Amino acid sequence: MTAESCTGGQLAAVLAADAALGPHLERGFVAYSIDAKCEMLGVSREDAERAAAVNPEVAAAMATGALRTSRADLAIAITGFCGPREGREEVGLVYIGMANVDAVRVEDFHFGDIGRSNVLDLAVAVALQIMIEAAS
């Protein structure tokens, strides 16, 4: 189960492309806009409007919302600023949330202003690692 903002479904695509992992992908959400995060995943509008929806509360709510609307045992959510810079945001800041029936965990990553595609690739790779660790 994935809930993705900045990665736009890239994590779900990686999972689906793998013959061993694909069958375990129950569903995935791409919620790029604030409205989509609120309407599809139940993120509070107040949290979503703070820092353009790039904050730990949004990552946690995306993960728990995805888990709640599925039959999955584990959900991963990604939200972040991948670039280019707009205003005062920190390019390369990504929050990855993981939710299962027992807990919700959010980690922040500061990949730096290394180019949009590099930030996206790193976010997906880290999310995959978090999923693998949580599933074992």
Q: Where are the domains of the chain?
A: 2-135
> Tokens 């790779």 correspond to what residue?
125
Give the separation between CA 86 and CA 77, rounded to whole angstroms: 22
Contact present, 87 and 94 (Cβ < 8 Å): no
Residue 113, classed as helix, strand or coil, is: coil
H or E segment at 99? strand 93-100
Residues across the chain: 136
Does residue 136 have a pLDDT over 90? no
Given pLDDT bands bounded at 50, 70 and 90, which one contains residue 9? very high
CA distances from 3 to 11, 68, 71, 84 (A): 9, 12, 14, 22
Task: Give pLDDT, residue 15.
Answer: 95
Task: Give pLDDT, residue 52.
Answer: 84
Q: Which residues of 93-120 are buried (b: 16+ CB within 10 A; e: fewer)?
A: bbbbbbbbeeebebeebebeeeeeeebb
Give 53-110 pLDDT, tens digit per residue.
Answer: 899 999 999 999 999 999 999 999 999 999 988 888 999 999 999 999 999 999 999 9
Mean pLDDT computed over 4-32:
94
Domain made up of 2-135: CATH architecture: Alpha-Beta Complex (3.90)
CA distances from 9 to 14, 24, 30, 133 (A): 9, 16, 6, 21
